[in-house]
Each structure stands twice: as C-alpha cells, then as structure tokens.
A and B are shown apart, each in its own frame.
Chain A
Amino acid sequence: MDLNLIVSILNIAVVAGTSLVYATLGEILTERSGILNLGVEGIMIMGAVSAFAAAYHSNSAWVGVLTAMLVGGALALVHAFLTITMRAEQVVTGLAITIAGGGLASFLGQKLGPAGAPLVGLIGPRFREIPIPGLSQLPLIGKAVFSQDLLVYLMYLVVALVAYFLYRTRPGLHLRAVGENPQTADALGVSVFRVRYFYTMLGGVLMGVGGAHLSLAYTPGWTENLTGGRGWIAIALVIFAAWDPLRALLGALLFGSVNAIQFRLQAQGTTIPSNLLNMLPYILTVVVLVLTTWLEAFRKRVGAPAALGLPYNREERT
C-alpha cells in the first residue's frame, strides 16, 4: 500500500471516529454510574439537528455546539428523571428517548429553517481543519492527528480528562463506586441519586457534542437520519472498550477507519454496490462484540459496572 493512501485513511478515520468517541465517552460516564442509557442515537440526532439549526441562525458554529450540549443534557435529564426518580425500566426508557428523539429531530429538521422552512440543503457555518504548525508536518500521523477541526482537538482533551478523572480523582472514585456498589457508596456518604443524575446528564452533553460534530464538521449540514446508527455503535463500543476511555478512543478509530476504507473504495469506483459496502460497520460491530464478549468470558470478570441497569432504592436493599 502506498503511503499517501495510509495517510488519507488515517486522516478520515480520526474525523469519522470523533463523534463516536464523544458518544462512547458519554455512555461510559453514564454506565459507570449504573445507568444504562440506550437513548444515545436519539440524543445524538437531536444534538446534530439542534447544533446545525442554532449554528445556521446565529452564524456561529460554537453556538451550535453549545446548543447541542444543552439539548443533549436536557434529553439525558429526561432519562435520568424517568429511570432514577420514577423508577422506569431503563432499557425501554432509553429506546423511548431514541424513538422520540428521532421523530422530534425529523420534525425540527422540517421546521427550523428560515421562516419555518426545512433545514435540508442549507449551508451553514462549520468547523474547518486547522493544521497545527509543525506537528501537522510529522510523517504518517501528522496530518491525521494534527490537521483536524477544533472539535477533534477538543476530543483528545476530553478523552484524557475523563481517563484521568475516572481513575485518579476522588469524584471519579465515587462515580465508579456508585456503579459497582451503590449500597456501599451510600453508606460512605456518597449521594447515589445525585451522582447518577449528574453523570447521566454529563453523558448526554457529550453525546450532544458527538451529534454536533456530525452536522458541523464531518458531514456539514442536515439530512434525515444523519446519525445512521452511530449511537448504537457507540453503545457496542462501550462494551468493546470495557468501560475504559482510552480503549474507547481506540475502538472509535477502528470504526472510523472502516468508514475511511468505505470512502476510499467508493471514490475509486469499486464494483461492490454501496448498499453492501455500507453494511461493513454494522457487521464489524457484531463481530467485535462477539469477540469481546467471548474474550471477556475467559477472564473472570466482565467489565460492566456491577450495578448497571439496576434501580437503587434506599429503603429496599435488594
């Protein structure tokens, strides 16, 4: 393979994987607190549509990102309220968020353009590549890592922060404790409710940013079904990553490179029909999930937080 091809695949892999990294980190924080949020797909697509609409009307991509963060946090708050306070079934609640989010995004996409027109086909502000002088000249990885948009650079920072926070700080320890053993955490004076609310919402904020990266940088603009199942891939990546932020980065890059190879083949005019080529990430998700689960079964411990998906009720110690 020639070097330029590798460089270009790596370059696309990073930008294609960025939204996945944000969403996967968001879900990791959520699940670490013991809450399973299957609404990622719905939150991401709401993040994408609201980011684009806000950026278009304010003519500022950053306003778009902020809006997506707010929208993501708000939707995650709905999930938190229903599952934590109202004790609703977590799996079905997440699905409901995805279904409602998808419908609402489609509705808003047809209404939020200028004077109630659709958003489809509009061109708005976007994040452009800003090569970092010097570093972007590095051989092989320079262009891929250091010639990207600002949300990609921010993503590096967020991965490092989350990893440090989770393993090296006291609140990070509290978060892990709540997900592993809420009774003990409670007995030590950690408010299980507060921790679960906070990280479910923070997770939603990150998922929102993931959606924003799609509509403001990766594939700028709004189209129906823009996320195309990335939210679900993110949930699979959480399992692949064994709830670890750095492994999440790795997994997202793997998926990003599959996207990149897809593009490459399409650009070269492959004879493989695009519909079959587009199956790749979904087949890969299943394969990766099966392998991960299979490998985990050999080790003693599966990486999931022990209290994941279980409601916590102070009065009923079950």
Chain B
Amino acid sequence: MLPFTLKFERRLTVSRVATFLSPLAALLLALLFGAVLLATAGANPWTTYRAMFTGAFGSTYNWTETLVKATPLILTGMSVAIAFRMLFWNIGAEGQLVMGGIAAAWTALFLTERLAFLPDSPWVWLPLMMIMAIIAGAIWGLIPALLKAYLNVNEIITTLMFNYIAILWYRYLFTTAWKDPLGFGFPGSAEIPLYARLPRISGRLHLGIILAIAAVLLIWVIMDKTRRGYEIRLIGENRRAAEYAGVNIIRNIILVMVMSGGLAGLAGLAEVAGISFRLQHGLAAGYGFTGIIVAWLARLNPWGVVLVGVLLAGLLVGGDQIQISMGLPASVALVLQGAILLFVLGSEVFRSYRLRIIPRAPVALPPPEEAA
C-alpha cells in the first residue's frame, strides 16, 4: 500500500491558475499521446508535428485554408455551445448543417428558376439562401426540441438520429434526385449560378468567415447582454431555480434550438455557396461533431469558440497536409482532437478541486500518555 492517499478537496473558488494551466497541460499530454501513436506507426513525431503546424499556419495560403475550415467549425461550435449552455445536448449540428446546405443548394438551383422574375443578383439571392439555410437548420433542430419540450424525449438520441436521416437524404439528392445529367456520371448536383456564390476574399477563403464572426457577435449579445440570454444560462446552471423564478422552460428550449439549428444551417450554406458550389460528397465532413469539441474546449464561450475553432481547423488542415506530404492517415488529426478533449475533460477537475496528499497514519498508534 502507498504511504499516503490522494483525495480531491473542493476549492472555495474556481482556481484561475488551474483554469489557465489545465488546458495547456491537457494539450501537451494529448500531443504526447499522439507522438507515441505516430512513433508506433513508424513516423517521426517531431517532424510530423512540424509539418502539421507549417501546413496549417506556415504561409498566407495555409492560413486561408485554415480559416476556410474554421468557418463551419466556428458556426457549429457556436451552435453546440448555446444548446449546451442550457444543458440541451444537441449532438445534431452535423444534420442541421447538412439540411442548411440542402436548402441553400435548392434555393440556388431550383428556386432561381421558379422565381425567374427576380434579378440575377447576389444581393437578392445570397440573403435568400441564407434565410432558407437558417430555416432548414432551425427546423431540423426544432423537431427534437419540441419532442424534448413537450414529451421529454431524450434529445441526445433524437438529434443524433436526425444526423443520419439528413445525411442519407442528402446522399440520395446528390446521387439520384438532383444528380447533374451533364456530370459525366459523377455523383453531384449541377453547379449553382455565379450570383449565388459567396464572394472570395483570398484563395478559397470566402465571405462565410465574416458571416461566422457576425453570428458569434450576435449570439454573444443575445446570450450575455439580454434577459433572454440570462434565462437560458439560468436554466443550464440551475433548472429548478429558473422554474421557480418563472422562466418559461419550454419556450427557451424551442428558442435555443432554433438558434442552434440555424447557426449550423448557416454553416451548411457557407460550405455549399462558398466552397463546393454544388451539392456533392463531402458536405457531411464531421464539422458538426468537431463543433462539440470546439464548444467544450471554448468552455461554451462565444469568443472562445472563435479561437478554438481556428486552432482545431489548423489541426484538420495540418492533418490533410501530412496525408499529402508524408503519407500518414489524416485521421491522425481526428485522434488528436479526441485525445485533446479527453485530456481537457480529465483536467477540469483541478479548477474546482485541489488534490491533497494525505499521509497514512501508522496503523496501531499507542494510546497517548496521560499527563501526570
């Protein structure tokens, strides 16, 4: 037996030092874990990490690629964060993103023909696509929200199943129903018109990043500066207190999931109107799930989501780079993401607890001698 026992003791206040240091320690441990994995796969961890880093942040071009991936991640991260703030476990950002992408593509491909009297101008069609994408994502989030609010159906399962349903429907659309007859047999819809595309800033970086930042700003104002945001946070922190204070829980669940789904839907629009310009393979690239990691690492804080979104996007771009340049599986990035999250989860205890080392008392203590 060890000569001491370890025990967690609750701190009186959340430790600022631990709040700052524990994610750093977690990141280092995750990188160490990744290094072991890379070494067993026969790769030099140091050169791999260097290649990943320069691949993500090494030049202006790499930076734009990282921001391209950060765009959907910030939006899905934000989507997850506001739902998690209320302890509504929305795991469905992936499906909500896909629905947003489908709606954006539908608007650009088919609604443009039906409403042909409208001018072929981005000033008309881009806002319309945005609205449709937000509505589609919001509806996909609203159904589980209604089931939760009125029937108390477990939202983790419903939002997750809705992912699979959305993804299969989107696959059906681009491989069958909307498949471009002029596409030489490749699965994918026709290209959306030029006026339905988000303008590019540099390289593949498009206006979506600005939309994402604007959305974060808006959500930050709602969540941190308004009464509604206060109610939502209160429900998450103490649902019973919120009920006693007369907060309408059902209405807030619905509101949050409409916002959450809408944000993810916007991410779908950014992917379709900013990158692929058509409905094709690759829209369901896991941004919804990575959004969960983004949200949690950011401690559900809007500006934290932006920061973590860019960092994890860098990790993904770096993963793609080592696949191209070193022939390593890009899934290294996925493993690292998961490991970072696991280590951060393990380290969070130190924010509110301190580890005490308690020496074991000798087993048979002689009775204290009475003072004569």
Contacts and interface: CB of A to CB of B under 8 A. Distances in A.
Interface of A: 38, 78, 81-82, 86-89, 91-93, 95-97, 99-104, 106-107, 110-111, 116, 229, 232, 235-236, 239, 273, 275-276, 278-279, 282-283, 285-286, 289-290, 293-294, 297, 315-316
A103 B330 CA distance: 9
B58 to A, nearest CB: 24
A174 B152 CA distance: 29
B329 A107 contact: yes
A235 B157 CA distance: 8
B156 A107 contact: no
Contact of B339 (A93, A100, A279): A100
Contact of B156 (A86, A111, A235, A315): A235
17 contacts: A86-B345, A86-B349, A87-B353, A88-B346, A89-B345, A89-B348, A91-B156, A99-B337, A101-B338, A103-B336, A107-B334, A107-B335, A229-B160, A239-B154, A239-B157, A278-B168, A279-B165
Contact of B349 (A87, A104, A229, A273): A87
B14 to A, nearest CB: 14
Q: Which 9 A-B pairs have the closest CB atoms?
A: A100-B338, A103-B334, A275-B172, A88-B345, A106-B331, A282-B164, A103-B335, A96-B341, A107-B331
B241 interface: no
A96 B342 contact: yes
Contact of B164 (A88, A116, A229, A294): A229
A82 B334 contact: no
Interface string B86-111: 00010100000000000000000000
A144 B137 CA distance: 43
B335 A100 contact: yes
B346 A82 contact: yes
B176 interface: yes
Nearest to A302: B152
A286 B161 contact: yes
A38 to B, nearest CB: 7
Contacts of B8: 87
Given A86-B346, A285-B157, A107 B332 contact: yes
Nearest to A296: B152
B37 A107 contact: yes
Contact of A110 (B160, B329, B349): B329
Interface in B162-192: 162, 164-165, 168-169, 171-172, 175-176
Q: Number of contact residues on B: which range applies?
A: 35 or more
B347 to A, nearest CB: 8
Contacts of B91: 95
B42 interface: yes
Interface in B30-47: 37, 41-42
Given A86-B346, A87-B8, A100-B341, A111 B151 contact: no
A91 B151 contact: no
A91 B341 contact: no
Dominant secondary structure of chain A at its interface with chain B: helix
B139 interface: no
B356 to A, nearest CB: 12
Given A116-B41, A282-B164, A285-B161, A294 B151 contact: yes
A104 B157 contact: no
Given A87-B349, A276-B169, A279-B169, A110 B157 contact: no
A283 B162 CA distance: 8
A286 B341 contact: no
Nearest to B295: A92
Contacts of A276: 168-169, 172
Contacts of B338: 96-97, 99-104
A78 B157 CA distance: 22
Contact of A232 (B151, B161, B176, B342): B161
B329 A293 contact: no
A289 B157 contact: yes
B132 interface: no
B156 A103 contact: no
A300 to B, nearest CB: 14
Given A86-B346, A100-B335, A293 B341 contact: no
Contact of B41 (A86, A111, A289): A111
Contact of A82 (B41, B161, B342): B342
